[in-house]
Every structure is written in structure tokens, then in C-alpha cells.
Amino acid sequence: MPGINEVAELAGVSTATVSRALSGNGAVSATTKDKVVRAAAELGYVVSSNASSLATGRTRNIGVVIPSLNHWFYSSVLQGAESSLLANGYDLTLYNLAGTGEERDSVFEHFLLRKRVDAVIAISLELTPQETSRLLALNKPTVGVGGPLPGVRTLSIDDVEVARLATEHLIALGHTMVAHIGGTEDFERDFHLPTNRRIGYEAAMEAAGIPVDPDLFQPADFTLPGGYRAAKQLFGNPRKRPSAVFAASDEMAIGTILAARDMGMNVPGDVSVIGIDDHDLAEFFGLSTVAQYPDLQGRLAVELLMEQLHPESREVGGINTALPYDLIVRASTARRRG
């Protein structure tokens, strides 16, 4: 593990010059730079990030706080963020909030404060007021993805619009008995988004002059089994059978498709189904959906941070644009029959 002075010696220059040559800060003649680079390569020299951080106050490391790793959306955002950070020469340290309350506390009480990160990305987090203030107290650039974080710049698709679009697709196919599977109250409190999606659904219905029927709403937990159970309730109602279902996530929509099959119903013959996400499995199940791009959202979050961390070298444009989403029509939606 060679240090900077060994490189300096080999190259026949001072350590300061080595530092300058390797970091690009400060002018170095082309020839010395070349010498230094060679020497460093020969020795296999790599800066000690600790020493460097201590001297500069910057760590080239950013913290990502995530509610859980086992969800398609979160891990996709994480994947996008990781890859983009890597490209920018940053490390990513991961804080997972799943697990006991104690673990969660210790993230906020100890870990984030260790001065180990230059900035933090918070994925779909709904924090307690205390946690939020801890986060803000870090006084570091922070950006949220997918969750509303008071006081923090947040990246999120327009859930109301996305839900409206999905619902309109169903309505345009002639459906009027359009059911909605959305978040449970618990879930709503934690993530807000289900409420927004429900609002978009209701807006689309009302705009089409179709009264919103509370019996056509079923809460679920955003999982496939949850969607399955909710759909069975909907389909089993002898009085009102929906001809279309808008589920607030693809996993629930897939559960809905499976429930329909199990009840002997044909999708889309007897019932149309649409979700939100464009989950990995959506294509396999022929699921129509509104795609969002969590990977891209993770990348964008990193861009945003980089702008704040390196204000000089970046142009600012393009970040404030709304996040993209697209209606993707597959085999699970069709014109109302009869």
C-alpha cells in the first residue's frame, strides 16, 4: 500500500505536485503530470480516501436511505442511483430502514451523523418529524425520490396524473364499472401516494360523468397476494361486478389477473386490468400499465446532487422537468364486452 510520498519520490517531485497531478486541482505541466501518473500506476497507488476527506472535508460518498430492499421500486431506484454515482466517482453507503425500530433509530442517531457522507438520497421515505429534523440538521444536500419529504427537494412522478391516465384508458374502452384497488390506510399514512392515485382515479371518473362508487374500491397492501385478495372481494360481489380494475401497482394488478383466472373469468374478455409501474413481470402477464422509470429516477437524484456538490461544472437545465411516464397497452385491457 504505497503512499503519496513514495509516488513523489519515484516521480522526483513533491507530494503537493503529486496531489495536484492526480486530482486535477491546480496547474501541473504536462510532462510532470505524465511522470506522476506513470509513477502512480507503477506503484499501484490509490489515494487514501480518509486522509483526503479529512483534508478536504469532502468524502466522495453519499448515503442512501431506503425503506426496504425487497421491493421492485426501491431496489430499482437504488440500482439507478448506484450506477450513476459510480460513474461520478462516488461511493454509496446504504442505510436500510427495514428491521426493528431500534435499528431505524440508530441510523438517524448515529450513522448518518458520522460525517461520512457528502449528501443523502432518501427513497420513498415518510419520516417522523424528529427524523426529518435530524436529516435536515445534517445540513447536507438531500434529495428524496418517490416520497413526499417536507423541506426536501423530491423527485416523484405526478401520481394524480398517472392514475388519471390509467383510468381514462379504461373509460375510453367503454368501461363504466371501473373498480380501484389502492392503498390501505396504514400504507397511505406512510407513503401518501396511494391517496394521490385514488384522487386521479376519481378525477377521471368524475370527468367522464361516472359517479364514484365506494363499493368499487378495495384497499390492499401493494403486494401480489394483497391484490389477489382485494380482487376476489371485488369479483365476488353479487350486486356489482366491475368490468375493469385499475390497481395502484403492477403487483396488485397481477394479483388481480390471477384472481380473475381463479374465478373462471377471462382477462380481458370479462374484465380489463391495468396497473402502474411496468414491473419486471408486467410483460410476462400481458399487463397493461403506466410505466414509471425508477432506475431513471435514481439517476436523476444523483444528477441533482452533483449539481449541488459541484455547482461550477454543471449546467442546471432539465432537472425540473416532470418525471416521465408512459401508458403501455398490452393484453389485459380491451373494449367492454356487450
**Chain positions contacting a second copy, by CB under 8 A:** 1, 44, 46-51, 53-54, 59, 61, 68-70, 72, 75-76, 78-79, 82-83, 86-87, 89, 91-96, 98-99, 103, 106-107, 110-111, 113-116, 224-225, 228, 261, 280-281, 284
Distance (Å, rounded) from C-alpha 261 to C-alpha 254? Answer: 11
Q: Please tell me the total number of residues recorded for the chain in this structure.
A: 338
Name the nearest CA neighbour of 85 among 63, 113, 57, 56: 63
82 binds, among a second copy, DNA, none (CB under 5 to 8 A by kind): a second copy
Give least dist CB 106 to DNA, A: 18
Terminal Cα distance for the chain, rounded: 76
Q: How far is the CB of 263 from a second copy (least distance, A)?
A: 13
Shortest distance (Å) from residue 240 CB to a second copy: 26
The listed partner (a second copy, DNA, none) that binds 324, CB under 5 to 8 Å by sort, is: none
Which listed option, a second copy, DNA, none, makes contact with residue 22 (CB within 5 to 8 Å by class)? DNA
Rounded to a whole number of angstroms, the minimum distance from the CB of residue 164 to a second copy is 29
| Residue 228 interface partner, choices DNA, a second copy, none, CB cut-off 5-8 Å depending on type | a second copy
Residue 26 interacting entry, from DNA, a second copy, none, C-beta within 5 to 8 Å by type: DNA
Q: Give the dihedral of Cα atoms 160, 166, 171, 177; nearest 10 deg.
A: -90
Q: In angstroms, what is the minimal distance from the CB of 114 to DNA?
A: 10
Nearer to a second copy, 14 or 48 (CB): 48
Residue placing its CB nearer to a second copy in the complex, 117 or 163: 117
The Cα 184–Cα 168 span in angstroms is 23
Q: Which is nearer to a second copy, 64 or 204 (CB)?
A: 64
Q: Which is nearer to a second copy, 10 or 257 (CB)?
A: 257
Ramachandran angles phi, psi of 177, nearest 5°: -85, 75
Give the nearest distance from C-beta 38 to DNA in angstroms.
14
Q: Which does 189 bind (CB under 5 to 8 A by kind): DNA, a second copy, none?
A: none
CA atoms within 13 A on the CB side of 102: 0
Closest approach of DNA to the CB of residue 137, in Å: 17
Partner whose footprint covers residue 86, from DNA, a second copy, none (CB < 5 to 8 Å by kind): a second copy
Which lies closer to a second copy via its Cβ, residue 192 or residue 229? 229
Give 195 or 288: the residue with its C-beta nearer to a second copy.
288
Decide whether 85 or 290 has the Cβ nearer to a second copy.
85
How far apart are CB 222 and DNA at their closest, in Å?
42
The listed partner (DNA, a second copy, none) that binds 98, CB under 5 to 8 Å by sort, is a second copy
Place of cell 442517531: 109
* Contact by Cβ (8 Å): 22, 47: yes
Contact residues toward DNA (CB under 7 A) are: 3-5, 12-20, 22-23, 25-29, 31-33, 45, 47-48, 51-52, 54-57
